[in-house]
Amino acid sequence: MGPNSFKDKPFWTDTLQMPAGNSAGPLPEKVDVAVIGAGFTGLSAARTLAQRRVRVAVLEAETIGWGASSRNGGMVLTGLKLSVEELRQKYGDAAARRMFGASVDSIDCVERIVKDENIACDFERCGHLEVAWKKSHFDRFCRSAKILEKEFNYHIEVVPQYALGLEIGSEIFYGGVVDHLSAGVNPARYVSGLARAAQRAGAQIHDRCRVEKIERLASEAGGKPFRLTTSRGALIASEVFVATGGYTTRATPAIKKRVIPIGSFIIVTEPLSDELAARASPRNRMIYDSKNFLWYWRLTPDRRMLFGGRAAFFPETSRTIRRSAEILRDAMLQTYPYLQQIKTEYAWGGTLDVTFDVLPHAGTIDGMHYAIGYAGHGVAMATYLGQKMAEQITGSRDANPFSDVPLPSAPLGIYTGTPWFLPLAGAYYKMRDWLS
């Protein structure tokens, strides 16, 4: 596969025309809430705020949905990056139940928005399949399934190796587990619909408007509003909600030093025949494996194979995209040797946000509200936490299960926002996969 044989852009963005924001007009002088970032988190928050008659302006450095919200695999998944075993060990039974329950509720949240706003985004409750890379990983699946059944009153289907052919046309895995509540979506169509819904509710979206500086001001009327200096002028906001994920900048240093931007990469093939598609994924699941350095894949609505993963930890550049496309194609063919003759038509990269405890977080820091740290589970959780934080900003009770978990920074202050240690982290997780 030559380096120029694919489009260097997200496949999803070729399936729609994104809505336009205000990219040239003047900014309002003052708003109730300034939302930084026009992805799932920010747009979900803006929609809820505007529905509650709050004057809200969304400030986006690029264009609507430009970041992870249009670059992901479109998997709307239950669960978190940490397993239920790890959640119980670290945070106790009650907190673990709340966190896992939020992941299930987050999919309901997306489904309600899609239905209420009539968003044509191919949302489907097709379920997800996690496949075991090693026998020990399948044993872990069985333990987690028992914990979920007994302690969480939640059922997932364990699929032993001999029955795995009913779920996936590959023979390299040691079994799997299916959660039927997970879904698939065209993420670009979804974020586009979310933006239009926020605009209909009254939110202003200002794209090409990079926030450069945020200052806290004294006010004669009491309170301490914020002055946001942007590439297109300044505005005053009573509240600020930071929804920048893996693209967080030094405009919010306290958040930047607590979130690690990690590159994730995806290839998409030409459309498969009906026969090949049915062979590769008989149940049309969202699929991912059990490695730390994981692969994930699915069929798109038009039967292309989408295959992604942590091919490189550093964020996307033309070089990392080319190299990652080669790595991902090799991994796809290791999984499905019979796709050898199928061409790769798209390859791209994006940046996801991971915190030091690998959990999502939403709360307040330096007087500003935020929601970050989805670690690859962002389609649903970003929507959910954006909505929950908007409700909290407007006076509703705190229904955020992550608010009691402190947002950690790096030990010994060794990280200030530049992820110099990513090659070491990549090597560490590859070693863990080999030893597990």
Q: For residue range 214-259, what is the model confidence (pLDDT) as tens digits? A: 999 976 566 789 999 999 999 999 999 999 999 999 999 999 999 9
Query: How many Å apart are CA 52 and CA 68, to the nearest integer?
Result: 27
Report the distance separating Cα 421 and Cα 399, nearest Å.
Answer: 35
Residue 422's pLDDT is 52
Helix (H) or strand (E) holding 408: none
Three-class secondary structure of residue 178 per DSSP: strand
pLDDT of residue 397: 84
Q: Give 390's DSSP letter.
A: H
User: What's the Cα-to-Cα distance from 327 to each of 125, 261, 290, 334, 339, rounded to whole Å?
Assistant: 30, 20, 18, 11, 15
Burial of residue 127 (CB within 10 Å: 0-12, 13-18, 19+) is buried
* pLDDT number for residue 263: 84
> Residue 186 in contact with residue 121, Cβ under 8 Å?
yes
In whole angstroms, what is the distance from residue 34 CA to residue 238 CA? 8
What distance in Å separates the CA atoms of residue 309 and residue 191, rounded to the nearest whole number? 22
Rounded-to-integer distance, Cα 252 and Cα 237, Å: 15
How much is the pLDDT for 3?
41
Distance CA 18, CA 52 (A): 25
In the three-class reduction of DSSP (H, G, I as helix; E, B as strand; rest coil), residue 352 is classed as: strand
Residues of the chain with pLDDT under 70: 1-4, 219-222, 311-317, 412-436
| Cα–Cα nearest to 76, from 184, 216, 163 | 184
Rounded to 5 degrees, what angle do the CA atoms 271, 163, 83 make? 85
Pick 11-72+189-259+357-417's CATH classification: 3.40.47.10, 3.30.70.260, 3.40.190.10, 3.50.50.60: 3.50.50.60
The 10 Å Cβ neighbour count of residue 413 is 8
Please state, in angstroms and rounded to a whole number, the distance separating the CA atoms of residues 193 and 190: 5
Supply the pLDDT for residue 1.
42
Q: Is 330 helix (H, G, I), strand (E, B) or coil?
A: helix
Type of residue found at 20: A
Amino acid occupying residue 382? A
> For residues 379 and 188, is the Cβ–Cβ distance under 8 A?
no
